[in-house]
Chain A
Amino acid sequence: MPRMGYSFPEEVLEHVFSFIQSDEDRNAISEVCRSWHDIERWSRRRVFVGNCYAISPTMVIRRFPEVRSVKLKGKPHFADFNLVPEGWGGYVAPWISAMASAYPWLEEIRLKRMVITDESLELISKSFKNFKVLVLSSCEGFSTDGLAAIAANCRNLRELDLGESEVEDLSGHWLSRFPDNYTSMVSLNIACLGWEVSFSALERLVGRCPNLRTLRLNRAVPLDKLANLLCRAPQLVELGTGAYSSELRPDVFSNLSGAFSGCKELKSLSGFWDVVPGYLPAVYPICSKLKSLNLSYATIQSPELIKLVSQCQNLQRLWVLDYIEDAGLDALAASCKDLRELRVFPSDPFGQEPNVPLTEQGLVSVSEGCPKLQSVLYFCRQMSNAALMTIARNRPNMTRFRLCIIEPHTPDYLTLQPLDVGFGAIVEHCKDLRRLSLSGLLTDRVFEYIGTHAKKLEMLSVAFAGESDLGLHHILSGCDNLRKLEIRDCPFGDKALLANAAKLETMRSLWMSSCSVSFGACKLLGQKMPGLNVEVIDERGPPDLRPESCPIDKLYVYRTVSGPRFDMPGFVWTMAENPALRLS
């Protein structure tokens, strides 16, 4: 049979591919045949690199020459809790310089947990003529000078989101560097800035950007100036207030209330530092439209919280302090039937005794009353297996479940048993669970449940749990979709790690700190698995000055196609095949 040339012209294929956005799908497309691979790579516009050390910028650029949007992540998640020493790495500079020449049409850069300098910010501002989006989430290493360069040079900037970054505040005048004819801001998040920004510049900026949808102010913006800003931007969809306190004055209140009423599109509220309860009613007019409410910095009592929350019938996301109490969560369960995500943070994380009546009961109530609840982060001081089993049965649609019982090793307070069966119920009933954080008293048994049932689990955080390597072995051998595993203070050692070495190549990364992994095992792992970077982090000094069986302090293992990195500080060693590279 003669070969019929039924192939589509390239342009058609390219057009078809342009509808395919997800990375997974695009990866699948690129494996069909050579020509699809080529067409796909030339048409890929977004790249997400979950670990900036897994691949080099050169390799990314070589494969995808026409990228417009890049997202990179650097430090491991536990860096958020000061477990990763300063100077570990995550430097974005090599990426920025490579992209500056290779991607002149780059529009978006999103970074998480990376170190970015003012020089890099300046390079960004000058290299990409059509630059639109800069998101710096939990980043550090830069100052307001870098922001000034962005403001001054990025004529087409639409989004500037500083997330929860650590910014060196040199001057609040960077905001004035936006030229007078700059009007394209859509989203501005400066909530993390500690010092005042030039308020008049802010006002003028807000006033001249008609497309502004998101405005997250920092704490230094006083409440009596908020009304003014809102009046200039009644089209806002998302607002983060500054400090929400002022002397109670009727004129300030009525201005504020009027301004809020004028914001007909407002769907998300955050900020609320230093709340004066008397001003809360100013937001009542817009409560019924709210989908997202972040009160996690608001130190207000349960009655006020209840009054507020009961009016938010369309709420989908609530972040709040444990001041809400079980009673407040009952009210939430009764009023907010569309709730998808709940996060309850501790108001007094280091107190020995509970300071508010918030227990497992609050979470049980919400799990009963809110049929769409799928994402939970809950800090509390007591938990029971019975409660966990109830939650699991109530909410089989749970996809993210993070429970933090504040005191390590806390057992079921009713039975004094470990919480194994409770968490076991969670993984058994919630078949789509993608993220799980454990706490409380846990034996190896809970890991057996997880390995058996949590087949869709992608990220697992473990602390002060387990009894032996069997625990770790259950996870690594059972969780088919595991991508990120982070462990601290667990009695896991070499056996399970080495027995499951190949598994590590199917995951993004593994973090183990204050466990019982020996230096010898790390060396062996590094030697045998060239596709992994095995990093030993130890501030006590070079691990080879101690016996090989000595446990190391911190281990970070990640798969990579670009070999060991060379920007490590003196307290990080990569275990590699080549002994010369091993100890830098």
Chain B
Amino acid sequence: MQGVVGGGAGAVSGGGGSSTSDASMSTVSKEDNPVLSSEDSSSCLDESELELGLGLSLGVGVGACKAQQGPRGGQYARILTAKDFPYVGSSTSASVSSSSSSSSSSSSSSLSRANVTAGTKRSADSVAAANGASQVVGWPPIRAYRMNSLVNQAKLPATEVFNSLIVKSRNSNPAVGKGTSNACVNANEKGQLRSSLFVKVNMDGIPIGRKVDLSSHRCYETLAQKLEDMFATSSTIMNSIRSGGEEHDMMVDAITPSKLLDGSSGFVLTYEDKEGDWMLVGDVPWGMFINSVRRLRIMRASEANGLAPRLEESNGGQRNKPI
């Protein structure tokens, strides 16, 4: 294979010496930095080192990787050939157990993601191990806009009357046709997993909202945990949630009692339902919540006093779902 190095830059900058001074060099050789590992880095680390987290495994990793790089150490910027890319083989190791490793934004436990180390086929295998395409975020690659339209229509209209009923009910309940990412209105039409259900989440005091995939959660606890993780990385306000003298390592504690749900944080988790009312999260069964939530808001507890407390008391007449 001739001329495989670099893109349009042509010849490899020859000779030894440090590459740092040459900004136009065409290859960035990993030999410059022995800390970096090759594909077999997974052997440098194991799960226990990751759990201990922070810094400890760095040293071990370096040592092990250096040893592996021994035979080629010292060489610099040579033309790479096919030999440099060992054929890994089409192993179908399904050893990676986490089925959520490729659904990045919806995974609820950061630790299970971190455990999936640099295996070469980890994501692909996990998808193969999982129950088909429906579990993977963003696959098949269909825009949310199109997905919403698909979901909100009857798939194969039975009769014209049925269709006109759909149109009528939509006109009286425009939320169903809304162009946001509330995809899963009819959750179990075929008894199978539907597309993601992304809803917007805003937190008081933080200008930038986020989106969370509700379909990857089965209960309020994991959702609240996910939200705490999400907003903890970007604000100091969240620190007040974690105060009280407790040491929290976000990476290690996968399940802790949620402060968002029990109101001890100074914030409450609320949601806007289809009728446009703001309700406290946690009052209704999960399934009912999923079917009616439009978006979420992490509200300062001081502002939450006037919220509709219970489903039965407020919207009994308008709800068309049995309680």
Least CB separation from B30: chain A residue: A498
B38 within 8 A of A: yes
A547 touches B133 (CB 8 A): no
Kindly report which residue of chain B lies nearest to residue A222, judged by CB atoms: B167
A346-B142, A470-B85, A477-B4 as given contacts; A276 in contact with B163, CB under 8 Å: yes
Query: A residues 449-479 with Cβ under 8 Å of B?
Result: 461, 463-464, 467-470, 473, 476-477
A489 CB within 8 Å of chain B: yes
A195 to chain B: which residues have CB within 8 Å?
174, 177-178
- Is A554 part of the contact surface with B, judged by Cβ < 8 Å? yes
Q: Which of B105, B164, B180 contacts A247 (CB 8 A)?
A: B164
For residue B274, which residues in chain A have a CB less than 8 angstroms away from its CB?
none
Name the residue of chain A whose CB is nearest to the CB of B101: A514
Task: Flag if B7 contacts A80 (CB, 8 Å).
Answer: no
Contact with A along B110-151 (1 / 0, CB 8 A): 100110111111111001100011101111111111110110
Residue with the greatest number of chain B CB neighbours at <10 A, chosen from A437, A491, A529: A491
Cα separation A350 to B85 with both chains bound (whole Å):
36
CB-defined interface of A530-547 with B at 8 Å, one 1/0 digit per residue? 100000000111100111
With A274-B167, A570-B233 known to touch, is A299 a contact of B154 (CB < 8 Å)?
Answer: yes
List, in ascending order, chain B residues with CB within 8 A of A530's CB.
23
Identify which of residues 212-262 in chain A touch chain B, using a CB-to-CB cut-off of 8 Å: 219-220, 222, 243, 245-248
The interface stretch among A176-184, A282-290, A404-412 is: A404-412
Among A2-10, A26-34, A362-370, A518-526, the one that faces the other chain is A518-526
B97 at the A interface (CB under 8 A): no
List of A residues within 8 angstroms of B121 by Cβ: 467, 491
Chain B nearest Cβ from A439, distance in angstroms: 9
Find out whether the CB atom of A82 lies under 8 angstroms from the CB atom of B114: no
Q: How far is the CB of A417 from chain B (nearest CB, A)?
A: 11
Find out whether the CB atom of A502 lies under 8 angstroms from the CB atom of B120: no
Expressed in whole angstroms, the Cα–Cα distance for A80 and B146 within the complex equals 10
* Max chain A Cβ within 10 angstroms of own Cβ: one of B30, B132, B141, B200: B141
| B190 contacts partner chain A, Cβ-Cβ < 8 Å | yes
Q: Which residues of A are found within 8 Å of B58, using beta-carbon distances?
A: 547-548
Q: Which partner residue on chain B sits nearest A80 by CB separation?
A: B143
Q: Which of A153-174 contact B (CB under 8 A)?
A: 164-167, 169
Contact A296 B146 (CB under 8 A): yes
Q: Does B32 contact A (CB under 8 A)?
A: yes
Cα of A279 to Cα of B41 in the assembled complex, Å? 62
**Contact present for B28 and A529 (CB under 8 Å):** yes
Task: Known A87-B208, A502-B27, A525-B28; judge A551-B118 contact (CB<8 A).
Answer: yes
Q: Digit string of B188-217 for contact with A (CB within 8 Å is 1, else 0)?
A: 001011111010100000001111010000
Q: Is the CB of A549 within 8 A of B44?
A: yes
Which residue of B is nearest A278, CB measured? B160
A11 within 8 A of B: no
In the complex, the chain B residue whose C-beta lies closest to that of A493 is B39
Docked complex Cα distance between A489 and B125 (Å): 9
A83 to B251, Cβ gap below 8 A?
no
B301 within 8 A of A: no
B171 within 8 A of A: yes
Q: Which residues of A contact B120 (CB under 8 A)?
A: 467-468, 491, 493, 516
A359 within 8 A of B: no
Q: A278 — which chain B residues lie within 8 A by C-beta?
A: 160
With beta carbons under 8 angstroms apart, the residue of A243, A299, A529 that contacts B167 is: A243
**B87-95, B239-247, B304-312: which one contacts chain A?**
B87-95
Nearest residue, chain B, Cβ from A503:
B7
The verdict on B321 contacting chain A, using a C-beta distance below 8 Å, is no
Partner among A165, A346, A473, A502 whose Cβ is within 8 Å of the Cβ of B9: A502
Q: Does B71 contact A (CB under 8 A)?
A: no
Q: Does chain B have a CB within 8 A of A336?
A: no
Q: Which of B105, B141, B155 contacts A80 (CB 8 A)?
A: B141
- Point out the residue from B114, B177, B178, B211 that lies within 8 Å of A546, measured CB to CB: B114
Most buried by A among B29, B32, B160: B160
Chain B residue total in the interface (Cβ 8 A):
119
A192 within 8 A of B: yes
**What is the minimal beta-carbon distance from A387 to any residue of chain B, in angstroms?**
19
Contact between chains at B179 and A276 (CB < 8 Å): no
A528, CB-defined interface residue at 8 Å: yes
The answer, among A297, A473, A529, A548, for a CB contact under 8 Å with B153, is A297
Name the one of A196, A347, A570 contacting B171, with C-beta atoms under 8 angstroms. Answer: A196
What CA separation (Å) do A498 and B28 show in the bound complex? 5
Q: A469-B39, A547-B58, A553-B104 are in contact. Are A496 and B85 (CB under 8 A)?
A: yes
Partner of B164, one of A169, A194, A245, A521: A245
- With a CB–CB cut-off of 8 A, which chain A residues contact B50? 546-547, 550
> Assuming A350-B193, A473-B85, is B36 touching A524 (CB within 8 A)?
yes
Q: How far is the CB of A270 from chain B (nearest CB, A)?
A: 12
B28 and A501 contact, CB distance less than 8 A: yes
Residues from 488 to 512 in A contacting B, C-beta threshold 8 Å: 488-491, 493-496, 498-506
CB distance from A53 to the nearest CB of B (A): 17
Q: Does A19 contact B (CB under 8 A)?
A: no
User: Which residues of chain A (345-361) have a CB below 8 Å from chain B?
Assistant: 345-352
Partner of B87, one of A194, A196, A468, A550: A468
- Report the bound CA distance from A469 to B85 in whole Å: 6
A246: nearest chain-B partner, CB-CB: B164
Q: Are A301 and B143 in contact (CB under 8 A)?
A: no
A515 at the interface (CB under 8 A from B): yes
Distance in Å: Cβ of B135 to nearest Cβ of chain A = 9
Known: A503-B7, A514-B101. A196 touches B149 (CB 8 A): no
What are 21 A-B residue pairs whose CB atoms fall within 8 Å in the complex?
Answer: A194-B179, A219-B149, A220-B171, A243-B170, A346-B140, A350-B194, A468-B88, A493-B118, A494-B38, A499-B80, A503-B7, A506-B7, A516-B120, A528-B20, A529-B28, A540-B251, A548-B35, A549-B35, A549-B36, A549-B65, A553-B113
Q: Given contacts A245-B164, A524-B36, list 6 more A-B pairs with CB under 8 A.
A: A78-B138, A86-B208, A219-B170, A467-B120, A498-B27, A506-B7
| Ranked 8 nearest A-B pairs via Cβ | A503-B7, A570-B234, A81-B138, A194-B178, A470-B85, A491-B120, A86-B211, A350-B134
